[in-house]
Amino acid sequence: MDLSLNETQELLQRSARDFLKDECPLSLVREMDGGEGGFPVALWQRMAGLGWTGLLIPESFGGFGGSVLDLAVLSQELGRVLAPVPFLSTAVLGALLVQRAGSEVQQRDLLPGIARGQRVLALAVTEPEYSWEAEGVQMTAVQSGGTWRLNGTKLFVHDAQSADTLVVAARTSGIGATGVTLFLVPAKAAGVVVRRVSGWAGEPQQEVVFTEVAVAADAVLGGVGEGWAALRQVYPHAGVALAAYQVGAIQQVYEFTAEYARTRRQFGVAIGTFQRVQDHLIDIVNHLDGARWTTYEAAWKLDEGKRDATEAASIAQAVASEGFYRSVFHAHEVHAGIGASLEYPLWWYTRRARTYYDYLGSPAHHRKVLARMLQL
């Protein structure tokens, strides 16, 4: 197993870090959080110009045709700056679902636009009971002639206010995985209402209510009843992207916390000389290393088509989500009161750690997934 980066990936890492340092300061993150939703369109367009939004899209559709390891490298840099863009929703989940499940017409309609930064997709799966299992999909889709009518509520949907198209999981039959179908629904369709979920956790999330929303038969993404199978195909890749984002965030938390420990003085010495402060920093490093190596191992296994790649992705997501969540609290122990200041970066990383702790499944969810895979 070779987890080292090749020359192209090292160039991607350096160029992404330099670009985001200049174009995505913390002030932009604060600005987006304080608004009514949306994202920095100008930044998204510049990212598209660099080929990032088409990273996973085949060259035949205007993309880069990159690997999962390429995805991990870029996602890590996005996480370092908490980039407030719909990358995971659109360039990863949306693009992969359309590639894996979409018809030729759907692919031609959506993939080039995603690659150019002109289309934004949002995945709507979870509902008020909040489950990432197939049984959690209770929203209904009933067919009448050539039309499907969707009714139900999706909750904690990322980037719904920014999207032009929603990828919606709805139940078309039964109670299990085989009864779930994916639909492409225009975000402005009659009967669709998007509301921002209020709360303290960062990155805006939305509630999306569907009331007698009518879509044509060609809005089905993949076959009827095949939606959950499509989601299971792309979740490992998205999980690696999310884990890599968290790796980048932990790295940044470590760096500014270590710098604070070196420069903050108490009792005439730097607080970094105190053993308990050192303990907290070492704990952050341990979480960082665990998250980094499980994430890159999972990316390598997905690229190589290894049989245990899905298990590796679940391990990475569990380790990274838990690691990010715990790292920010170790950082708060070092910073004390200043860590709660809105003008200081730690507050924003703490919010994002809580938001992403459960996204695409909490650590407990992924441990259960692993237990099932191990037939325990």
Q: With 80 as the cut, is the pLDDT of residue 361 above it?
A: yes
Read off the tokens for 159: 């980037």
Read off the tokens for 148: 């499907």
* Mean pLDDT within 212-221: 98
Residue of 375 and 313 predicted with greater confidence: 313
Write the pLDDT tens digit of every residue in 133-151. Answer: 999 999 999 999 899 999 9
Q: What pLDDT score was predicted for residue 200?
A: 52
Candidates 17, 54, 68, 8; CA nearest to 295 is: 68
Lowest average pLDDT, out of 191-200, 308-317, 336-345, goes to: 191-200
Write the pLDDT tens digit of every residue in 274-288. Answer: 999 999 999 999 999
Q: With 70 as the cut, is the pLDDT of residue 175 above it?
A: yes
Write the pLDDT tens digit of every residue in 23-79. Answer: 999 999 998 886 666 899 999 999 999 999 999 999 999 999 999 999 999 999 999
Q: With 70 as the cut, is the pLDDT of residue 240 above it?
A: yes
End-to-end Cα separation, the chain, in angstroms:
27
Neighbours of 305 (CB within 10 A): 7
pLDDT level of residue 202 (50, 70, 90 thresholds): low
* Mean pLDDT within 290-300: 98
Place of tokens 């085989």: 178
pLDDT level of residue 259 (50, 70, 90 thresholds): very high
Over pLDDT 90: what percentage of the chain? 90
pLDDT level of residue 249 (50, 70, 90 thresholds): very high
> What are the DSSP E strand ranges found in the chain?
121-124, 140-144, 147-158, 165-171, 180-186, 192-196, 205-216, 220-221, 265-266, 269-270
Q: What pLDDT score was predicted for residue 287?
A: 99
Mean pLDDT estimate for the chain: 96
Residue 50 dihedral angles phi and psi, to the nearest 5°:
-85, -5
Lowest average pLDDT, out of 2-6, 60-64, 323-327, goes to: 2-6
Q: What pLDDT score was predicted for residue 267?
A: 95
* Mean pLDDT within 158-170: 97
Q: How far apart are CA 253 and CA 247, in angstroms?
A: 10
For residue 268, give the amino acid letter: G
Q: How far apart are CA 46 and CA 319, in angstroms?
A: 32
Q: How far apart are CA 311 and CA 376, in angstroms?
A: 14
Q: How far apart are CA 210 and CA 140, in angstroms?
A: 10
Task: Report CA torsion sign: 242, 315, 167, 149.
Answer: negative
* Mean pLDDT within 182-197: 97
Q: Is 145 helix (H, G, I), strand (E, B) or coil?
A: coil
Neighbours of 140 (CB within 10 A): 15
Domains and CATH numbers, the chain: 7-119 (1.10.540.10), 122-224 (2.40.110.10), 228-373 (1.20.140.10)
pLDDT level of residue 199 (50, 70, 90 thresholds): low
Neighbours of 136 (CB within 10 A): 16
Contacts of 31 (CB under 8 A, 6+ apart): none
How far, CA to CA in Å, does 149 sit from each of 63, 108, 116, 280? Answer: 33, 25, 31, 53
Q: What pLDDT score was predicted for residue 374?
A: 83
Q: How far apart are CA 317 and CA 306, in angstroms?
A: 17
Q: Give pTM, 2 decimals.
A: 0.96
The answer to whether 327 and 302 have CB atoms below 8 angstroms apart is no
Q: With 90 as the cut, is the pLDDT of residue 2 above it?
A: no
